[in-house]
Amino acid sequence: MKNKEKPTVVWFQAITCNGNTHSLLSANSNRLELFFDSFNLIYHPSLTIDKSLDDILNSNSKIDFLLVEGSISNNKKFFQISNNSTYNHLTKLIKKATYVISVGSCASFGGIHAMFKEHVGVKSVKEYFDKTLLKHQIINLGGCPVHPEWLLQTMFLLKDYGRIALDNEGRPKELYSSLVHHGCTRNEYFEWKVEGEFGTKEGCLFYDQGCRGPMTHGSCNKILWNDVSSKTRAGMPCVGCTEPTFPRDDMLNTKKNIGIPFEVPLGIPKRAYLSITGVAKTFKIDRLNKKLMD
Amino acid sequence: MENALKLFSQKGFYNTTIPDIAKAMKMSVGNMYNYFSSKEELAKYAIKYSTNILALELREINNMEISSKEKVSIFVNKYLENVQKSPEVIEYFLRVYLSNREVFKQGCEGFLCVGEFVTEVMILLDTGAQNKEFREQEFFPAFAMIMGCLGGFAFLSGEKVLDKDLLEYSDAVADNIYRALKYEE
C-alpha cells in the first residue's frame, strides 16, 4: 500500500450497517487481490491500515477515489464520528477527491436510514453535495449491498479510461442499463404466467412474492453473486434494492388491485400487459407446472 | 358476419350449415371457403368479432374521465342496448360460445378469442380499485359479478319473460353491480 504509482483510495463509512464492506470482502479472491495490487487503499475504518481518519482529514494529499458507504447527516447529535458530523467530514474529504463513488443504497439514495421521518437530515451523498464543484459527477452504485464486482468494474474503468457513462440516477450504464429480469432463470415461468413460491426453484416470483426483477435496473442475474447465484435463482424475490425507491413497504408481497398487479414491467402499457397475460395464462404447460427435480 | 351470428344464435351451431350462412351472406359456398376453412373456424372468428364490439365500447368508456360508478352505469346501458338492438351479438356468446365449448377448445381456449374484452373488464376493475371506489377482492368473482349479471339479463330478455322494456332495468342492474363491487370503509 506504499506504492505511490497506484491511485489512492479512501473508504469513508457514514451511517451504515457495513454491508457494502462485507460485500467487498466477499469478492472473488482473484479480483480482490487484483484490486489491492492496482489501487492504494490508504484508509478504511474496518481494516488494519496505518492511517486514521484524522490523518486523512488533516493531510493535504489528494485522494483519487473517495468511496462513501452509508447515508449522511449534518446533525452531530444524531450521529457523529470523531466529534463531528458525517456531513462535515465529507465536506472536507470531497474537496480532496477526484472521483466520489457512493457505495450502496444508503450513500446513493438515502436507503433504510433515510426512510424514517424521525431521521431528519439523513440523506444521500448526492442530495448534500450535488452542487459541489467536483471534477466528476458523483457516481451512485445502488444496491443493498452493492455487488463487489460492480464496484471493482467501476473503479477499474475510471482508473483506465477516466470516465464512465451514467444513467439519470447517476449509476453506471454498463452495470445498470439492463433489468434484474434479464438473465433470470425463471423467465420462462414469467412468460407463461406460472406462479412460484418463496424458496423454490420453480415458478415466477413476480405474481405474488413481490419480485421487482422486471422493473429494477441491475446486473444481479448477469454478474452472479459469489460467481454462482442471485436472489431470484435461490428463490428470493428481487426487492429492487438498486432503485431510489428502496426500501419499500411490504417488499415480499405483490401489490394488487382485484388480482391485477398494481405495477407492470417497465415500459409496457398496462392494457397491453393484461391482454398478453390473459392469453399466456390460457396455456397450461405441464413441464412448467412440475418440479424441476423430483 | 351479423348474418352468420344470427343464424348460429337462432338455429344453434350444429343445425347451421355453411350453405345456410353462404346464402344469408349472398355468397357462393365455394367463396365462403376462401375465407374460412371450416364452420369451426367461422365460429371462432365470430366470437372474436362479437366480443370485440363490446371491447371497443368498454374501452371508450374506460378512457372517459368519470367515476367508476358512472362507467359501470354507462357500460350496463350500452350492453342492454346491444341486447335489444343486436341480440345476435350477445346471444351468440350465450347460446353458441358457452354452450358448445368443444367447438372452441382448439384455438379459442381460455381468453384467446375474448381477450380484448376481458382486458377491458380488468382495466375497469383495476382503475376502480386504485381510486378506492371498488373494494379489494379476487378478479374472477368480480368479473363473474359483472358478466354473470349481464348475461343473465340478456337470457331473460331472450326468453321474453321481462315485464318492462329491457332498458328500464338498466339503472337497477348497474346499481346492483356497483354495490357488489364498491369499496367499504
Predicted local confidence at residue A112, as pLDDT: 95
Predicted local confidence at residue B185, as pLDDT: 77
Tell me, yes or no, if B180 comes closer than 8 A to chain A by beta carbon.
no
Q: Is residue A2 part of a domain?
A: no
Is the pLDDT reported for residue A140 higher than 60? Answer: yes
Residue in B closest to A278 by C-alpha: B111
Tens of pLDDT, residue by residue over A100-120, are 999 999 999 999 999 998 999
pTM value? 0.88
Let me know whether A283 and A211 are in one domain. yes
Is the pLDDT reported for residue A3 higher than 60? Answer: no
Q: Is residue A30 part of a domain?
A: yes
Let me know whether A183 and A290 are in one domain. yes
Tens of pLDDT, residue by residue over A225-254, are 999 999 999 999 999 999 999 999 999 999
Q: How far is A279 from chain B (nearest CA, A)?
A: 5
Let me know whether A101 and A232 are in one domain. no
Let me know whether A228 and A90 are in one domain. no
Q: The C-alpha cell of A249 is what? A: 413497504
Concatenated DSSP letters for chain A?
---TTSPEEEEEE-B--SHHHHHHHTS-HHHHHHHHHHSEEEE-TTS--S--HHHHHH----EEEEEEESBEES-TTT--BTTB-HHHHHHHHHHHEEEEEEESHHHHH-HHHHSSTTSTTEE-HHHHHTTS--SSPPEEE--TT--HHHHHHHHHHHHHHS---B-TTS-BHHHHSSBTTTT-TTHHHHHTT-B--TT-SSSBSSSSS---GGG-B--TTTS-BTTTB-HHHHT-----TTSTTPSPSSTTS--EETTEESS-STT--HHHHHHHHHHHHH---GGGGS-S--
Residues from chain B contacting residue A282 (CB–CB below 8 Å): 109-112
The C-alpha atoms of residue A170 and residue A101 are separated, in whole angstroms, by 10
Tens of pLDDT, residue by residue over A256-265, are 999 999 999 9
Range of the domain at A117: 8-173
- Quick one: pLDDT band at residue A1, thresholds 50, 70, 90? very low
Residue in A closest to B129 by C-alpha: A257
Tell me, yes or no, if B113 comes closer than 8 A to chain A by beta carbon.
no
Residues from chain B contacting residue A271 (CB–CB below 8 Å): 119, 123
Let me know whether A228 and A133 are in one domain. no
Quick one: which of A154, A149, A153, A160 has its CA closest to A138?
A154
Is the pLDDT reported for residue A283 higher than 90? Answer: no
How high does pLDDT run on average in chain A? Answer: 94
The C-alpha atoms of residue A175 and residue A179 are separated, in whole angstroms, by 10
**What is the domain count for chain A?**
2
**SS3 category, A150:** helix
Angle between helix B115-130 and helix A270-282 axes, rounded to 10 deg: 130
Let me know whether A130 and A184 are in one domain. no
Which comes out higher in pLDDT, residue B2 or B146? B146
Answer whether B111 sits within 8 Å of A281, measured CB to CB.
Answer: yes
Tens of pLDDT, residue by residue over B65-109, are 999 999 999 999 999 999 999 888 888 888 888 888 888 888 888
The C-alpha atoms of residue A187 and residue A196 are separated, in whole angstroms, by 12
ipTM of the complex, rounded to two decimals: 0.84
Q: Which amino acid is at B159?
A: E
Residues from chain A contacting residue B125 (CB–CB below 8 Å): 257-258, 260
